[in-house]
A and B are shown apart, each in its own frame.
Chain A
Amino acid sequence: MTTPLLDVRHLVKHFARKQGLFRAPSVVKAVDDVTFTIHEGEMFGLVGESGSGKSTTGRCILRLIEPTSGDVFFRGENVLQFSTERMRLARRDMQIVFQDPYSSLNPRMRVGDIVEEPLVIHRLGTKPERRARVAELFQLVGLEPGHVMRYPHEFSGGQRQRIGIARALALNPALVIADEAVSALDVSIQAQVVKLLLDLKERLKLTYLFIAHDLRLVEHICTRVAVMYMGKIVEVGDTRALFNRPTHPYTQALLSAIPVLDPDAPRRRIELDPRSFERDAPLREIGAEHWAAVQ
């Protein structure tokens, strides 16, 4: 078997939470022993609700947050051992698109400069070459190359997200971490941006870690899915296998909570009973390409 593009092993991130002057800080286990692999060309979905640790996981992989322990192998090399300089080089291959198209773009920079900035930081190309690359990137993500001199506020939410995507693609990355990249968008705009992400995946041979809370969306675009709950992956597998036979009580509760578009569909909410499962249960193979943390 080939080396996976990304191999995350026993990733842990603890945050200390101050409890006041005279009390010892408590530890929040934001990411608690998370292991998964992503192969080249995959669209891997990482889903969970607020506070599940999915975004922290994404940021630890890029070392935007330093993990407490664990290993992150990218093309077989452990990026957590990289020097600062080496890490900077590695980031050419691993890029992130953030959720909020309003706060993730500097409002005082022209959008052309925003997209060009990664090339400047990595000292790639001459000025005219970089300009040409920016125009090419604008075209690639469906923006008007003539708009490079405009400022972010002149663009709609969907267009801003395209700018964020263009910036992420500037350095020709192999892995793109999309952290709730379409969550803030209206549903019709969301559909367009998702289509763009899928197109780019084919054209540029990208691999995605798609972090999201919308299970309906993940079900339809991801090849494999991991479900996170309170810092742990409770279920992971081939999308079809997981959605056909959700097995962990949390996955079942989460799926049953999604409003169904059919007014005549019977509503069968499954309430999560925290006593119904062991939090520390290891992932166990429960079917072909399907694992769940159940006894």
Chain B
Amino acid sequence: MDKPLLDVQHLSVTFGGQTPAVDDVSFSIARGETLGLVGESGSGKSVTAFSILRLLQPPGRITAGRVMFEGRDLLTLSERGMREIRGAHISLIFQEPMTALNPVMRVGDQIAEALLVHGQAARGEARARAEELLEAVKIPDAARRLRDYPHQLSGGMRQRVMIAIALACRPPLIIADEPTTALDVTIQAQVLDLLRELKARYHLALLLITHDFGVIAEMADRVAVMYRGKLVEHGSVRDVLRHPSHEYTRNLLAAVPGIGGPTTP
């Protein structure tokens, strides 16, 4: 087997409290693979993602572990080296596109900025590339939409712009933190279809953070379940959904309406 693209080993994170926010977490992602990281609020799944990119805000602090990416340990990289990784090699899609996008900047300029910052395009061609990217994420009438501000777009369209920015530098890995949680279910379906298609086209690896096992079942190859900072279960999506071995996973699945969840007597 090839070396994994991302290999997180024994990661621990504290916010200064009694219990660590992330406690000895290890997982890996191969090129082109989708790993679903699932858990409820406060389980540490987003903190894990932020730690990989070293975006933790104090008092959050990584206390142990290694994050191997393309042969380098991201935790020992200089801040300058880290800036090169973020966006160009690993990009991040947030849950709330309205707060993640700059409200006073045209979306075309925001996409172009991602390209310019990483020296991926000269000023002259950035605009054309931005248009291509908007087309890649299936925004109709891309040339005109470049001039729109975020508030002129619907929630689904904004999330497509976020995906376009994430794709701009063709990173091998995208971390998506609850990318469809704020969207209506029909829009979610479209965004998931788009992510699946782009993943195949660009051979992307995806770390998909979600609380929704349905999204995991549709998107992920493997799944890791987090509970109170620990990885309690880890395996292929089929195995974990069919034969959850940890009690927490079983309870979580049982709470999903229609599986074993609440029903009228």
Contact = CB atoms under 8 A, between A and B. Distances in A.
A257 B217 contact: no
B218 A187 contact: no
A186 interface: yes
Interface string A249-282: 0000110111111111101010010000000000
A187 B256 contact: yes
B41 A186 contact: yes
Nearest to A223: B264
B189 interface: yes
Contacts of A195: 262
Given A214-B257, A257-B185, A263-B241, A187 B252 contact: yes
Contacts of A283: none
A144 B171 CA distance: 51
B261 A191 contact: yes
Nearest to A253: B186
Interface in A171-202: 186-191, 194-195, 198
B213 interface: yes
Interface string B210-227: 011111011000000000
Contacts of B263: 220-221
Contact of B188 (A189, A194, A257): A257
B3 interface: no
A216 interface: yes
A213 interface: yes
Nearest to B218: A259
Contact of B264 (A186, A198, A256): A198
Given A186-B40, A257-B189, A262-B241, A43 B257 contact: no
A49 interface: yes
Contacts of A265: 217
B217 A269 contact: no
B22 interface: no
B251 interface: yes
Interface in B206-265: 211-215, 217-218, 237-238, 241, 251-259, 261-265
A50 interface: yes
B232 to A, nearest CB: 14
Interface string A139-159: 000000000000000000100
Nearest to A262: B217
A251 to B, nearest CB: 11
Contact of A261 (B155, B189, B214): B214
Contact of A259 (B215, B251, B257, B265): B215
Contact of B192 (A222, A253, A259, A261): A259
B197 interface: no
A254 B259 CA distance: 19
A272 B189 CA distance: 12
Contacts of A215: 185
B193 interface: yes
Interface in A201-245: 213-217, 219-223
Given A264-B238, A269-B189, A272-B186, A188 B255 contact: yes
Nearest to A194: B262
A204 B258 CA distance: 26
B188 A220 contact: no
Contacts of A217: 257, 261-262
A221 B193 contact: no
A256 B185 CA distance: 9
B184 A49 contact: yes
B256 A216 contact: yes
A220 B257 contact: yes
A264 B261 CA distance: 21
A186 B214 contact: no
A34 to B, nearest CB: 20
Among B189, B215, B263, chain A packs the most CB atoms within 10 A around the CB of: B189
Given A213-B184, A259-B192, A263-B237, A187 B217 contact: no
A261 B255 contact: no
Contacts of B262: 191, 194-195, 198, 217, 220-221
A20 B256 CA distance: 46
28 contacts: A49-B186, A50-B184, A157-B41, A186-B40, A187-B255, A188-B251, A191-B261, A191-B262, A194-B262, A198-B262, A213-B185, A216-B258, A217-B261, A220-B258, A220-B261, A220-B262, A221-B263, A221-B264, A256-B189, A257-B185, A257-B186, A259-B188, A259-B189, A259-B214, A259-B215, A259-B217, A263-B217, A263-B241
Interface of A: 43, 49-50, 157, 186-191, 194-195, 198, 213-217, 219-223, 253-254, 256-265, 267, 269, 272
